[in-house]
Structure 1
């Protein structure tokens, strides 16, 4: 009788698996252990295992292997299984479980994503990783992998047979790591020896120009690629040209993601032309070129490609500067091409009413089309009305052969700008909004707007600020003029922005950039550094607002390295800043006196009499016990840690369980819940 092939998986909710719980999970496979099937896939993901639990599971694996249960094993998913474990224990867990499968050399798929690995973590997994000659699919996503660890993966794991023997890799995903230029250069050596590669994701690696360019040039060796994701790396136009040279020989490409790749117009022109010339444009289903500082010039080349993109379903060009001119170029191309199109995303592109209307007209009659995103542009109220009127007239057609109703995202008349945030009292940040947000902005009674992007304000926005007598400080233009090639953030810009924010005479103040994410978010991050927020909380706040697809490593790096000593404090500081500084200084003084809490020293804590727990006799031991009253902080044996506002980093954990909330509140006052 044929042996049943199956999967070994500890299903259920996310949990910490202890030794006892591991025995319970293993017991669910008691029948399988007695008569083991031929397992083809093992997954331990979405749980966190202690070292004791890992030993129990490793012993279970050994018993199954001895009975031949892993003879046909081809896939192991060990993603996300050491969350919250101390480093030493996490490394032991990885080594214990991977070593238990070290005799298995039939694997074609390994996923170690969402584990904090680093070089030591990669080496801890050698029992699973090494000498896998049949390996076809490898995933290292969100692992915190360094340049050294990337080198280990390339040379000791995937190229272990030497530089003359190609791998069998078809999928390689390497996302959200810290490998930088060194990692990009190390992994670039892998590409010429992976001729079968079909699915490549090399994104959010913190690679700058040198590493990105080296990796881009190495792509030329890949001829069978179908999916290519190079998002969130710094390729610049030169790297874009190298990508173009590579994709010219990739006729099977169906998905291309170049979001936040800094390719600019020159890079896009080269890539779009290469996709046409190589034949991939006809089969392409998904293209994302968002966040690349593209203008109408780049849209000309993209438009030529779109005319030939018969299979294209999703086009994303958001967070660029294509304007109405660029939108009309795209609309004209989509009108005659891309019959299978389902979705277009063109948010935050300085598109006016005429450009938006052109896009709507281009897609409204396409039978497969579902959604057009054009939020965050400069569409007038009359323009919105024209779009709504057009859609209403089209949607009245009830013919069964008519196109499905198109959904166009529009903004209500009283709507905050995209990425609007109350930073502190009378301090705000947002994107470069359009007329639909003017009623909301009017309620803020702004005194000052600091605009950080280098492009001009729209006529409507400039007129609105003039009408409301709002002082506009265009720092982006100032620093753009200082260096004609500048397209990023400088220390001078950060210094001036923070000084404007801290000058109470300019409040209420709005910090604005084109997207509301990159420039404005970075400036607020630098402000938080000056306020003594911990770096972890500062970056976390930036990421929460930016979202996973809009975060940029270069912005996070700028926040981390910004020299707060450059800032000259204005004479009239806002109270929220002075209170923060006072609390910080009070804690510094307390710590210098050896106090764990203002007025509390370790000696005073140790002097507190110890309370003996109540003695229970046999009669009362099994009775329902009354709730124990909360013990005051003054009566605890554990020293009370100094408390700062919860984002400060000078002393102790973010939250001290031995300090009541009321006691904290008496020190910091009411908070803004930021």
Structure 2
């Protein structure tokens, strides 16, 4: 399908194995006069088929968006690096200047990241605005990605231009503290991020603290999603101090992050004082009790643009129905009583819980 410079093979579920398979795709690529968007997602590309496709791409230095998520289903981890290297080299040779790269839902991992390093570090990515690496099994390769971003920034400066990366999405990648700290260094170096999504990455307090420090140098941040990592009270308090300075924030997702009572309250307090642009705030699954939830709702009343306050799956226990009846606001979601996590154990302090989170 071709429309206004957009060539899409999205979701066909085809297996491109042979050179002939690749030639049929290459023919369509070559027939486009000005190709700005190439969408290959939802198919399975093999080594042989990638060769003619890469050759056809060399004729299109005007390419801006490479949308290649879910492209290697059933491919061996020895094949994926070869295919990525072939495609990336074609863009390097042609002098492409991408603005969007989506490689989500591909098994890149440490075994294939080497195929991307020259590409991500060089002129082909100087104009990159959006990078999507969601669910790529990066693990320790998150460090490589971070190093590439810093190298790209430095190389761009040497060429008298700015590497203005604005969107970075890398959820479900097992980045953990090491990857988070490396990416924090990259974010701090760039300072250009507008949207960051790093949910479900096993990041704990040390990594969260590093990210908080980095976000302080990203004043244009509007969307921040760190859902399902482990802040702990200390990490939440550090993040609270920073988010209160990010006056352009519109969407904040700290659900299932174990911010706990004091951490959650501090986050909202800082937002309420300084961040009038907030529209969506998610603090579900943070062991918030009834008293803290009441304080949070009251503080959020001062946020003029808020449309969603997610307080589901917290620790309201038998007081859930009372809380809902007294603090039912159009923007507040307490969830269903059946989803509530029950009253918090009063014998366990937040300090003790924090320690167990880091163990």
Say yes or no: TM over 0.5.
yes
What residue in structure 1 maps to residue 243 of structure 2?
275
Matches for 1:583-622 after TM superposition, within 5 Å: none
Whether contact under 8 Å (1:327, 1:355) holds in the other structure is no
Q: 1:272 to 1:52 in 2, by over 3 A?
A: closer
2:102 maps to 1:111: yes
- Structure 1: state its 5+ residue gaps: 169-192, 378-410, 412-417, 419-430, 435-454, 458-475, 491-674
What residue in structure 2 maps to residue 327 of structure 1?
293
What residue in structure 2 maps to residue 633 of structure 1?
none
1:593-650 CA-partner distances (Å, limit 9, x unpaired): xxxxxxxxxxxxxxxxxxxxxxxxxxxxxxxxxxxxxxxxxxxxxxxxxxxxxxxxxx
Following TM superposition, where does structure 1 have runs of at least 4 consecutive aligned residues deviating by more than 6 angstroms? none
1:172-208 CA-partner distances (Å, limit 9, x unpaired): xxxxxxxxxxxxxxxxxxxxx9873433345444344
DSSP 3-state at the match of 2:243 = helix
2:116 maps to 1:138: no
Question: Alpha-carbon deviation of 1:269?
Answer: 2.8
Question: Alpha-carbon deviation of 1:333?
Answer: 1.3
TM-score normalised by structure 2 residue count: 0.76
2:65 maps to 1:75: yes
Question: Alpha-carbon deviation of 1:255?
Answer: 1.7
DSSP 3-state at the match of 2:252 = strand
Whether contact under 8 Å (1:82, 1:93) holds in the other structure is no
2:316 maps to 1:316: no
Whether contact under 8 Å (1:131, 1:160) holds in the other structure is no
Give the one of 279, 302, 307 matched to 1:342: 307
In 2, the alpha carbon distance for the partners of 1:23 and 1:208 equals: 41
Whether contact under 8 Å (1:313, 1:340) holds in the other structure is yes
DSSP 3-state at the match of 2:124 = coil
Q: 1:359 to 1:343 in 2, by over 3 A?
A: farther
In 2, the alpha carbon distance for the partners of 1:113 and 1:332 equals: 39
Give the one of 57, 65, 69 matched to 2:53: 57
RMSD over equivalenced CA pairs, Å: 4.0
Q: 1:245 to 1:161 in 2, by over 3 A?
A: closer
Whether contact under 8 Å (1:295, 1:326) holds in the other structure is no
In 1, the alpha carbon distance for the partners of 2:309 and 2:10 equals: 38
What residue in structure 1 maps to residue 36 of structure 2?
40
DSSP 3-state at the match of 1:274 = helix
Question: Alpha-carbon deviation of 1:8?
Answer: 2.6
What residue in structure 2 maps to residue 576 of structure 1?
none
Q: 1:339 to 1:363 in 2, by over 3 A?
A: farther
What residue in structure 2 maps to residue 261 of structure 1?
229
What residue in structure 2 maps to residue 465 of structure 1?
none
Question: Alpha-carbon deviation of 1:121?
Answer: 2.6
Q: 1:312 to 1:359 in 2, by over 3 A?
A: farther
Question: Alpha-carbon deviation of 1:484?
Answer: 7.6
In 2, the alpha carbon distance for the partners of 1:158 and 1:486 equals: 33
In 2, the alpha carbon distance for the partners of 1:158 and 1:295 equals: 33
What residue in structure 1 maps to residue 270 of structure 2?
305
In 1, the alpha carbon distance for the partners of 2:239 and 2:153 equals: 33
Matches for 1:463-542 after TM superposition, within 5 Å: 486-488=355-357
TM-score normalised by structure 1 residue count: 0.44
In 1, the alpha carbon distance for the partners of 2:211 and 2:117 equals: 33
2:254 maps to 1:289: yes
In 1, the alpha carbon distance for the partners of 2:294 and 2:201 equals: 29
In 2, the alpha carbon distance for the partners of 1:122 and 1:245 equals: 27
Whether contact under 8 Å (2:286, 2:314) holds in the other structure is yes
Whether contact under 8 Å (2:22, 2:51) holds in the other structure is no
What residue in structure 1 maps to residue 335 of structure 2?
374
What residue in structure 1 maps to residue 345 of structure 2?
456
Q: Compare CA radii of gyration and give the structure with the larger one.
A: 1
Higher relative contact order (CA 8 A, sep 6+): 2
Give the one of 104, 112, 119 matched to 1:121: 112
1:130-175 CA-partner distances (Å, limit 9, x unpaired): 542534133333223353x4555455x555679575499xxxxxxx
The number of equivalent residue pairs is: 349
Q: 1:312 to 1:42 in 2, by over 3 A?
A: same
Q: 1:150 to 1:333 in 2, by over 3 A?
A: closer
In 1, the alpha carbon distance for the partners of 2:183 and 2:56 equals: 42
In 1, the alpha carbon distance for the partners of 2:354 and 2:110 equals: 38
DSSP 3-state at the match of 2:356 = coil
In 1, the alpha carbon distance for the partners of 2:217 and 2:153 equals: 26
Question: Alpha-carbon deviation of 1:314?
Answer: 1.7
DSSP 3-state at the match of 2:333 = strand
